[in-house]
């Protein structure tokens, strides 16, 4: 299922949110980072010849990776949040990058088509190819 992601889906602790609110335009930066990360993963879908949408929605299989990568980049944007850049969050970001890179390299996993695909996106429907068959039935090749 393809669903939209907003910056509210990128959960931070109350302490992190308080620090973010004290920084001028701290919360505004998150929206821009989210848009960039969604673009990264949609680009990975495109290069893997998967169908994709350009309306800001992502498939559920990518959802957590988009959120984890956005959270990491958002926290790295501000030195005041250096304590929030934990090893677990770094590992989550690394896993998201690895998933994205694997999607680009192998084209797997395949994702379900979005309900409103981009008209220039590839389709998963394969039409049969009709061509003239060449049949060579003779007694010699049929008689074992």
Q: Look at the pTM and tell me if it is higher than 0.95.
A: no
Q: What are phi and psi of 58, to 5 degrees?
A: -135, 150
How large is the average pLDDT for residues 110-116?
81
pLDDT band at residue 19 under the 50/70/90 scheme: confident
Scanning the structure block, which residue is given the tokens 């005041």? 80
Range of the domain at 95: 2-142
Average pLDDT score over the chain: 81
Cα 111 to Cα 42: distance, rounded to the nearest angstrom:
11
**H or E, element range at 71:** helix 60-76
- The kind and range of the H/E element at 39 are helix 26-47
Give how many domains the chain has, as a whole number: 1
pLDDT at 43 over 70: yes
């Amino acid at each position: 299922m393809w669903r939209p992601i907003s910056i509210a889906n990128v959960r931070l602790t109350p302490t992190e949110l308080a620090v973010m609110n004290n920084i001028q335009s701290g919360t505004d930066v998150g929206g821009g980072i989210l848009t960039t990360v969604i673009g990264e993963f949609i680009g990975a879908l495109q290069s893997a010849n998967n169908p994709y949408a350009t309306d800001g929605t992502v498939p559920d299989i990518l959802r957590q990776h988009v959120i984890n990568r956005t959270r990491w980049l958002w926290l790295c944007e501000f030195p005041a949040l250096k304590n929030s850049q934990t090893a677990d969050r770094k590992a989550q970001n690394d896993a998201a990058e690895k998933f994205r890179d694997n999607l680009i390299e192998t084209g797997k996993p395949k994702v379900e088509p979005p309900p409103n695909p981009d008209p220039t996106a590839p389709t998963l429907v394969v039409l049969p190819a009709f061509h003239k068959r060449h049949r060579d039935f003779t007694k010699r090749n049929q008689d074992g």
